[in-house]
């Protein structure tokens, strides 16, 4: 089916590593992109393509993909990383795009 | 700098239409596809559709087919999203975003995003 699935919530201790996953059939064909959204703000791109970071995004953010799963990893999570994270991918069966339901990251 | 600036908040009654604008600057507007995405209160991001650089081709999410129209004006570097037959469930923040893709067309990403436009549908 044409959808992307994310865990609704994930927590991580300050300074530790956390992985946020996104699953969907379209990920077998196309790379995911990842967006960070803080309350009251527009989404911000953090990872795109195979594993690319836009200018200004810290190198603790990285991306990977295997089969039908894409992952966003934050190595050494900081308090300012607490946010909602969304994956996005083109639908492999139509000229449409898909968003995952989002993962709320809590930094403890 | 590359920027998308959207029109201001709107309040509409059920059954009405709304037209949201998104003005681009800092890049060659006629070279990029543009997306619209919405976010209902407390909910996730929902893709609505895409318009091609010349404005003569669009693709809409099935959910919005027949109610949404996306257009663009190259003379003002502005894209528009019009949603008709509004209902309370259309209350949301509407975002425009620029489409980007890699050279071998295996990945797309949305960057930058507009600041969002809150559309409230209420009687």
Chain segment B34-87, per-residue pLDDT in tens: 999 999 999 999 999 999 999 999 999 999 999 999 999 999 999 999 999 999
d(CA A55, CA B88): 39
How many A-B residue pairs are in contact by the CB < 8 A criterion?
68
Residue pair B5/B114 in contact by the 8 Å Cβ criterion: yes
- Minimal Cβ distance to B35: which of A29, A35, A97: A97
What is the reported pLDDT for B63? 96
What is the reported pLDDT for A88? 98
Distance of CA A108 to the CA centre of its chain: 19
What is the reported pLDDT for B106? 85
Chosen for mutation from A3, A4, A49, A86 (greatest number of chain B CBs closer than 10 Å) is A49
Each of the 108 residues of chain A gets a pLDDT tens digit; together they read: 579 999 999 999 999 999 999 999 999 999 999 999 999 999 999 999 999 999 999 999 999 999 999 999 999 999 999 999 999 999 999 899 999 999 999 999
Beta-carbon separation of A31 and B45 below 8 A: no
Residue B85 has phi, psi (to 5 degrees) of: 50, 50
**Neighbour-count burial of A102, counting CB atoms closer than 10 A to its CB (0-12 exposed, 13-18 middle, 19+ buried):** buried
d(CA B60, CA A13): 41
Chosen for mutation from B41, B57, B107 (greatest number of chain A CBs closer than 10 Å) is B107
What is the reported pLDDT for A24? 97
Nearest residue in chain B measured CA to CA from A90:
B108
Percent of chain B past pLDDT 70, that is, above it, reads 100
Nearest residue in chain B measured CA to CA from A84:
B44
**Neighbour-count burial of B66, counting CB atoms closer than 10 A to its CB (0-12 exposed, 13-18 middle, 19+ buried):** exposed
Could you give the angle at the alpha carbon of B92 between the alpha carbons of B86 and B94, nearest 5°?
95
d(CA B15, CA B38): 19
Beta-carbon separation of B45 and A54 below 8 A: no
Q: pLDDT tens, B86-119?
A: 999 999 999 999 999 987 778 999 999 999 999 9
Q: List CB contacts of B63: < 8 A, sequence separation 6 or more.
A: B46
Closest listed residue to residue B112, CA positions, set B48, B52, B23: B23
What is the reported pLDDT for A1? 56
pLDDT at B15 over 60: yes
What is the reported pLDDT for B103? 75
Beta-carbon separation of B45 and A43 below 8 A: yes
């Amino acid at each position: 089916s044409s959808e992307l699935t994310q865990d609704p919530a994930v927590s991580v201790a300050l300074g530790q590593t956390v992985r946020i996953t996104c699953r969907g059939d379209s990920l077998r064909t196309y790379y995911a992109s990842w967006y960070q959204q803080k309350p009251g703000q527009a989404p911000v791109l953090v990872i795109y393509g195979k594993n690319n970071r836009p200018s200004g995004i810290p190198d603790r953010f990285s991306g990977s993909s295997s089969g039908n799963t894409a992952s966003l990893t934050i190595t050494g999570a900081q308090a300012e990383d607490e946010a909602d994270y969304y994956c996005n991918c083109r639908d492999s069966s139509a000229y449409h795009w898909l968003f995952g339901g989002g993962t709320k990251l809590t930094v403890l | 700098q590359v920027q998308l600036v959207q029109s201001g908040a709107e309040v509409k009654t059920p059954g009405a239409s709304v037209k949201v604008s998104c003005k681009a600057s800092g890049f060659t507007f006629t070279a990029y596809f543009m997306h619209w995405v919405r976010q209902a209160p407390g909910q996730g991001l929902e893709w609505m559709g895409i318009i091609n650089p010349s404005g003569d081709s669009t693709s809409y999410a099935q959910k919005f087919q027949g109610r949404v129209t996306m257009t663009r004006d190259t003379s003002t570097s502005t894209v528009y999203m019009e949603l008709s037959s509004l209902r309370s469930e259309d209350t949301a923040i509407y975002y425009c975003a620029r489409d980007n893709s890699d050279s071998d067309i295996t990945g797309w990403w949305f960057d930058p995003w507009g600041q969002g436009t809150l559309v409230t549908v209420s009687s």
